[in-house]
């Protein structure tokens, strides 16, 4: 695709009109129309402003810059590299501080980057092949050899996970993520027509059967909102919290 085609596709995907995008990026609709038709070549700063205005992920912003004839603007560091030492240290501190409750860091494909000990205890009976790197957390939860048999509300939780992945893929298309969704779709039960009797109303809990009793967990998601490194921008912290005192007591005992 040309830059003009890429830009137009992103704008349409975000459901933003030309005039709205022009206002966001500080240009005119006429200029934007010329850019999208290929009649005008934008400068590097304009490409970045347009990408920011459309909330395009950093990885795809680099691709957009390349298609416009410019060098990538955003570095992609290795997770275990020296450049990310401050980020790695901060996140590992957060993971330790969240114990005795499970917490994980995943990338944009839901692959596990790192986790605290509580999460490893939660998954200790999962089939070993599912825990070989790269560990896909969504697969660990939904696969019959993973946590699926222990999830009391599997029909509700499974669709919660898959719907989240589908929203992510619709917002930011990615071949690997689409392949994962196709794989997990084969594992899905029938979608429940109504929430279960224990549905909290504001969130879908993870109800997990264990030898010490049932765990009732809620999840929270966090990410770096101002990251300028591709790797950091794609990290997501998923923290599990007890939805009742019994769950908290079991996890503390572990």
Query: pLDDT tens digit string along 134-171?
Result: 999 999 999 999 999 999 999 999 999 999 999 999 99
Number of CB atoms found within 10 A of residue 217's CB: 19
Report how far residue 8's alpha carbon sits from residue 34's, in angstroms, rounded to the nearest whole number.
Answer: 11
Point out which residues pair with 213 in neighbouring strands. Answer: 210
Has residue 126 got a pLDDT over 80?
Answer: yes
DSSP 198: T
Cβ atoms of 66 and 72 within 8 Å: the answer is yes
pLDDT classification of 194: cutoffs 50, 70, 90: low
DSSP 82: G
Closest by CA to 69, choosing from 42, 51, 49, is: 42
Chain centroid, CA 121 distance in Å: 23
- DSSP-derived 3-state class of residue 136: strand
Report how far residue 137's alpha carbon sits from residue 221's, in angstroms, rounded to the nearest whole number.
Answer: 14
pLDDT classification of 201: cutoffs 50, 70, 90: very low
Give, in words, the CATH class of 3-67. mainly alpha
Closest by CA to 73, choosing from 42, 51, 55, 54, is: 51
Fold of 82-253: Beta-Lactamase (3.30.450)
What percent of the chain lies above the pLDDT cut of 70? 96
Report how far residue 104's alpha carbon sits from residue 116's, in angstroms, rounded to the nearest whole number.
Answer: 7
- DSSP-derived 3-state class of residue 236: strand
* Ranges of each domain in the chain: 3-67, 82-253
Paired tokens of 220 = 């929270």
Q: Quick one: pLDDT at residue 202?
A: 53
Q: In what order do the strands lie in the sheet with 206-210?
A: 112-115, 103-106, 236-242, 213-222, 206-210
Burial class (CB in 10 A: 0-12, 13-18, 19+), 30: exposed
Q: Quick one: pLDDT at residue 239?
A: 97
Number of CB atoms found within 10 A of residue 162's CB: 19
Residue 180's alpha-carbon distances to 37, 146, 176, in angstroms, are 35, 15, 6
Average pLDDT of the chain is: 94
pLDDT classification of 1: cutoffs 50, 70, 90: confident
Report how far residue 171's alpha carbon sits from residue 213's, in angstroms, rounded to the nearest whole number.
Answer: 38
Q: What is the pTM of this model?
A: 0.89
Report how far residue 53's alpha carbon sits from residue 35's, in angstroms, rounded to the nearest whole number.
Answer: 15
């Amino acid at each position: 695709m040309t830059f003009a085609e890429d830009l137009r596709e992103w704008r349409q995907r975000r459901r933003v009109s030309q005039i709205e995008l022009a206002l966001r990026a500080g240009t005119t609709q006429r200029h934007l129309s010329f850019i999208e038709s290929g009649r005008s070549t934008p400068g590097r700063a304009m490409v970045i402003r347009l990408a920011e205005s459309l909330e395009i992920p950093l990885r795809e912003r680099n691709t957009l810059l390349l298609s416009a004839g410019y060098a990538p603007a955003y570095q992609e560091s290795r997770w275990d590299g020296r450049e990310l030492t401050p980020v790695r240290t901060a996140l590992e501190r957060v993971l330790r501080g969240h114990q005795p409750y499970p917490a994980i860091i995943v990338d944009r494909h839901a692959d596990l980057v790192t986790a605290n000990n509580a999460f490893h205890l939660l998954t200790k009976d999962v089939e070993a092949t599912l825990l070989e790197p790269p560990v896909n957390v969504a697969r660990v939860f939904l696969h019959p050899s993973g946590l699926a048999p222990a999830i009391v509300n599997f029909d509700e939780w499974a669709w919660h996970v898959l719907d989240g992945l589908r929203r992510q893929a619709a917002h930011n298309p990615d071949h690997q993520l689409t392949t994962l969704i196709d794989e997990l779709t084969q594992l899905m039960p029938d979608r429940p027509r109504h929430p279960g009797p224990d549905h909290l109303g504001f969130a879908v809990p993870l109800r997990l059967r264990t030898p010490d009793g049932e765990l009732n967990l809620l999840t929270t998601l966090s990410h770096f909102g101002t990251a300028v490194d591709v790797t950091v921008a794609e990290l997501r912290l998923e923290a599990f919290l007890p939805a009742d005192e019994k769950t908290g007591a079991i996890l503390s005992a572990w």
